[in-house]
Structure 1
């Protein structure tokens, strides 16, 4: 019996030069590791069917359901600052688009589904480790309230992939509002294909920012909208200690979602220079560099839109520059507001930033855990006896002792009672993040022992990051010295 899913594939109706039509490569013995049943229902998909043998065949790439139009998308990109004119989906195939119960159109993509014309001599496959990492981190980001791609399913292929050793192969089913990147625009701009560039811009506007179509200058309004989306996204990363790891232009989504979880990681001890990615040799994408890097990426995006902004080059550049110049203020407004929330400050005062920066400086100098410092402050805000939980995180507790009275004096100017403030701070400061050593333990259990119980347990804990969950308190703890994970790796 043919399988019909509610696909409505708008990107596949664009001209052929936007993608390559290619089917997933079948795998030998697919086995379902995890299905995100709640997300399936949100997408108007039947989770029971997806868990059936026929559904598993689709999630593995062995069966193309009716209505699917499999494509690998074309794009270019700056990778670590170096421009590559052709990249594209080298190990991911877009099955199609569905419209969810919320009326939002989303892509359903198989990642690790075999080679495509863009594979650049790669095998097009994924190992189970990177698949589990992306599943855990993307779902944790969603629970933390960060715009992100989602994970619908993880499937073992029954085959091995060769990286530094033989590893179990896997396929991740990824869901995104779209997979259009800054690099997608760069792909057509570098070729001088302005007809395709305009088609892409019109498509992106209709799909993601339909309100700007009625503006006096729609393409300028489109640029403004993308700048604003990114200026609001990056602070959310910083406020939870997230480090993307490969923040190239081809990994920067037009839709304002976090996309492409390769060597991503979360900080333990606070330091703006923190880097985990094994390929970020010079710290380009360090934690504290992310705002500036996204700003740089947006400049590259603005360059692609110049032909659409005006026929007059000088006027086009001026319009683009004006839009780009809004980024720092938008970013700072969102970031500083988030930092105030983390400290229980609802109102803004002149010296708040000094108070915040002095805390971050003391944390960096004293090896304080980023997540636990703020979470413990959420308790200390209503109970000064809980100060001990915070000061114990500092190698020199006197550094906290010198700062805390200034914080309490500032809190005295705030409206509301301490209990309500504590609840507000708990909602801004997670207890649980996907700590690197926990993810590594999950991957090792899966690879070495074929044991997915640790994955299931960690996923369940991360689904409620702002709750205390006393039974799982160990998951909130930073790594012991011998547990520290200093390097994370891309899945290719």
Structure 2
């Protein structure tokens, strides 16, 4: 197959990675190919669907021009620093420049052991591969910056976790795989030249405007802070919980990366945790902004020598997190209830609504979507009203006074409040069908539904409704 690779990261010093080829799979078979994304990348989707293309997607064939590497990085995992992590089950095949002129990584995840595997098998199980495919594409449908899934293939092999599971490989596409942990890996070795080299590379690839200013490293930190603040705010606005916000899972490009025990919240509660390994709630829904800033502080520490050890400059960059987060988050909340501009009192309306929702355990997604109808007619209040009916009615009277100043607020609200999200119980049902019965029909259908999350369609009610009590998913698990 012909793929026009241009592998800029592999031209950095070999300390940044290990050269290693993928491990061939026994009997690869295509589960899903993201044809639209392939075309965006300038790849031939028809070729990728052939046996030769599937061999590439499984790691059985390294295409001409690829330069497979496993990236080195470190990271704080649940607050504890690990000086060497790295791609223990992934190969960056190379980079392509898409039809839009944007450079992107093409990585195989689950493609076999690397020097960073730490005694792991380097493989991935089918369930986690399909989970990342579903959730990353759901995030893309919601308009949230994210890595993407190009393909999923089964390997014809068994992997062992708690039990025997079918193996699979995910082909992931990312703006890059440079993490806060990548900077930590180099900084921990005391090599300021390498930290500078990585910063120069990241600036050239992601923030070229920063290079044109008088202080490019300060500008770089400013812009990473701004993107991360906006990203986490967007997570909160759709009820998303990443679940494992370690510094090695924090991309400097501003994309959501590494979908392990992630989940979408059903009933609104800022303390919601799904990850089975987050015993203390460090990465709970409401903690995510604080943790994002904590991670960015670790990046600032790495960059401090490039800032002439000017701690005040680093602190000023970090202080930019709050205004960027608040602008995206509070602006988004106002739009979710149909309000434009920033008149005094609007934020009180949003916060009072969230308090009512928290007290009731109201479904986050459904409440905001039903408010779209209530914006059109008070008759729709009955579908929104919480157990504290008097509290809702008092809030709704205030809301409608303010709403009278808007033009067609219901339509505006439907554009920002999804009708469907990747509901945990629906995701788990699709994964169970695929893993236990080799039935990929529910997975395919769910992907199609999540590609248009803002549409109204009564036929999709089973995807829009909250889980019944017996359907609730209370824990999610990391694929490793």
TM-score category of the 2 structures, normalised to the smaller one: over 0.9
Q: Secondary structure at the match of 1:428?
A: coil
| Residues 380-417 of structure 1: CA deviation (Å, up to 9, x unaligned) | 101111111111xx3343332232111111212x232x
d(CA) in 1 for partners of 2:158, 2:217: 46
- The answer for the alignment partner of 2:400 in structure 1 is 408
d(CA) in 1 for partners of 2:229, 2:110: 31
How do 1:335-484 residues align onto structure 2 when only pairs under 5 Å count?
A: 335-391=329-385, 394-412=386-404, 414-416=405-407, 420-484=408-472
| Residues 209-229 of structure 1: CA deviation (Å, up to 9, x unaligned) | 001101000100010110111
Q: Secondary structure at the match of 1:447?
A: helix
1:322 is aligned to 2:310: no
d(CA) in 1 for partners of 2:432, 2:141: 24
2:192 corresponds, among 191, 194, 199, to 194
Cα contact 1:246–1:262 (8 A) shared by 2: yes
| Residues 408-451 of structure 1: CA deviation (Å, up to 9, x unaligned) | 11212x232xxx31111001100010000001000110111110
Q: Secondary structure at the match of 2:57?
A: helix
| Residues 332-353 of structure 1: CA deviation (Å, up to 9, x unaligned) | 1111100000010002122222
Alpha-carbon offset, residue 461 of structure 1: 0.4
Question: Which region of structure 1 is more displaced relative to structure 2, 369-378 or 379-388?
Answer: 379-388
How do 1:56-67 residues align onto structure 2 when only pairs under 5 Å count?
A: 56-67=54-65
Compute the TM-score of the two structures, normalised by the length of structure 1. Answer: 0.97
5+ residue gaps, structure 2, are: none
2:120 corresponds, among 119, 122, 125, to 122
Cα contact 2:108–2:172 (8 A) shared by 1: yes
- The answer for the alignment partner of 1:331 in structure 2 is 325
Cα contact 2:132–2:259 (8 A) shared by 1: yes
- The answer for the alignment partner of 1:108 in structure 2 is 106
d(CA) in 2 for partners of 1:163, 1:348: 51
| Residues 151-200 of structure 1: CA deviation (Å, up to 9, x unaligned) | 00000000011111101100000000000000000001111011111110
Q: Secondary structure at the match of 1:362?
A: helix
Cα contact 1:23–1:70 (8 A) shared by 2: yes
d(CA) in 1 for partners of 2:406, 2:415: 18
Compute the TM-score of the two structures, normalised by the length of structure 2. Answer: 0.99
d(CA) in 2 for partners of 1:399, 1:165: 49
d(CA) in 2 for partners of 1:87, 1:395: 48
d(CA) in 1 for partners of 2:402, 2:410: 15
Alpha-carbon offset, residue 329 of structure 1: 1.2
Cα contact 2:339–2:406 (8 A) shared by 1: no
1:97 is aligned to 2:76: no
d(CA) in 1 for partners of 2:168, 2:41: 22
- The answer for the alignment partner of 1:249 in structure 2 is 247
Across the aligned residues of Structure 1 and Structure 2, the Cα RMSD in angstroms comes to: 0.8
2:180 corresponds, among 169, 179, 182, to 182
d(CA) in 1 for partners of 2:178, 2:133: 20
d(CA) in 1 for partners of 2:322, 2:208: 25
Q: Secondary structure at the match of 2:361?
A: coil
Cα contact 1:367–1:395 (8 A) shared by 2: no
Alpha-carbon offset, residue 249 of structure 1: 0.6
5+ residue gaps, structure 1, are: none
| Residues 260-311 of structure 1: CA deviation (Å, up to 9, x unaligned) | 000000000000000000000000000000000001111100000011111x
- The answer for the alignment partner of 1:10 in structure 2 is 8
